[in-house]
Amino acid sequence: MKHAQGETEVPCNPKNVAVMDLAAADDMVSLGAGDSIGILPKAPGLPAVLKPYEGKAKAGSMVKPDLEAIAGAKPDLIILSSRTAKVYNDLKDVAPTIDLSDAKGVSTMQANDDKIRTIAQIFGQKEQGERAISELHARAGEIAAKAQGGKSLFIMTNGGKMSAFGPNSRFAIVFQDLGFAPAADVKQEGRHGEPISFEFVSQANPRYLFVLDRDSAVGHGENAAQALLDNDLIKNTEAGKNNGIDYLNGTDWYLVGGGIATMNGMLDQVASVLK
């Protein structure tokens, strides 16, 4: 099987998988292979689909995987992704290891498709995987038809500060796949976005404002974003006046970012602001 760091011979229907990527674990559960999850990374929060597997979160964090715990689990397959790719060389001799980091230049939906197809192939669920992909794309198309290029801004709050993300960023799904148009020119497209002010949001005057609360996502308190944005500059935007502010689920968007069940939840969250 080809992956981000080479090509690896992968067992069919492995029974004890070290899954260091929450989206891949979501896909496993969604495709009926949840019993093969052997060990997971610890995270401030797991997506709803993985809550029953909290007891298996013993592999260190995604930022600092516990190599001894992973090896001690005696996995017959190890799955990594962008956050854990750095330990590939440390684990590739422990068990067959694949790196499912997103390919550069592909949309969020395409990257999600690729991961679903990989997991479906490993577990002999190709037909079910393709059906899930088709359903997700149909839902995305319905959202895009309603969005109609509405002016939008995607921001992340963190420690009392804000950054914006544009149509080529890690959160580009709202622009590339879901039919919204950028309300402002966001120049910095790195993983941390472009630092912005309340005045920037006010001048952009988005009809829809998508808000990701990083503090909540990493377990540093809840509702910090709502408190931060509770001011007249935000309230007087089109989004503020017309119920267009959408506070997204931090676990889904920041920690997971894909997977069949989680992506459906992400689409639900975006669709809710269009009602």
Residues 115, 121, 125, 129: is their CA dihedral positive or negative?
Answer: positive
Closest CA to 58 of 45, 41, 44, 75: 41
> Please, are residues 185 and 169 in contact by the beta-carbon 8 Å criterion?
no
What percent of the chain lies above the pLDDT cut of 70?
99
What whole-number distance in Å separates Cα of residue 82 and Cα of residue 101? 5
- Asked if pLDDT for residue 104 goes beyond 90, the answer is no
Q: What is the largest CA-CA distance in the chain?
A: 58
Please state, in angstroms and rounded to a whole number, the distance separating the CA atoms of residues 23 and 191: 18
pLDDT mean over 245-254: 96
Contacts of 121 (CB under 8 A, 6+ apart): 1, 129
pTM value is 0.94
pLDDT in tens, 18-51: 999 999 999 999 999 999 999 999 998 899 999 9
Segment 104-124 shows an average pLDDT of 95
Nearest to 33 by CA among 97, 113, 130, 128: 128
Domains along the chain? Answer: 2-101 (3.40.50.1980), 148-272 (3.40.50.1980)
HSE at residue 14, side-chain half, CA atoms within 13 A, is 23
Give the type of residue at 124: G
Distance CA 28, CA 105 (A): 25
What's the average model confidence in pLDDT over 41-69?
95
* Mean pLDDT for the chain overall: 96
**Structure confidence at residue 130 (pLDDT):** 99
Whether the CB-CB separation of 203 and 171 falls below 8 Å is answered with no
Contact between residue 183 and residue 204 where contact means Cβ atoms under 8 Å apart: yes
pLDDT, tens digit (0-9, with 9 covering 90-100), for 201-214: 999 999 999 999 99
Find tokens 């260190």 and name the residue. Answer: 60
Specify whether the CB–CB gap between 103 and 114 falls below 8 A. Answer: yes
**Cα dihedral sign, 88-89-92-94:** negative
Predicted pLDDT of residue 223: 80
What pLDDT band is residue 189 in, cutting at 50, 70 and 90? low
- Distances in whole angstroms, Cα of residue 28 to Cα of each of 53, 56, 125, 160, 195: 12, 14, 10, 36, 36
pLDDT at 98 over 80: yes
Q: Over range 254-273, report the average pLDDT.
A: 97
Q: Quick check: 232 pLDDT over 70?
A: yes
Q: List pLDDT tens digits, range 127-170.
A: 999 999 999 999 999 999 999 999 999 999 999 999 999 999 99
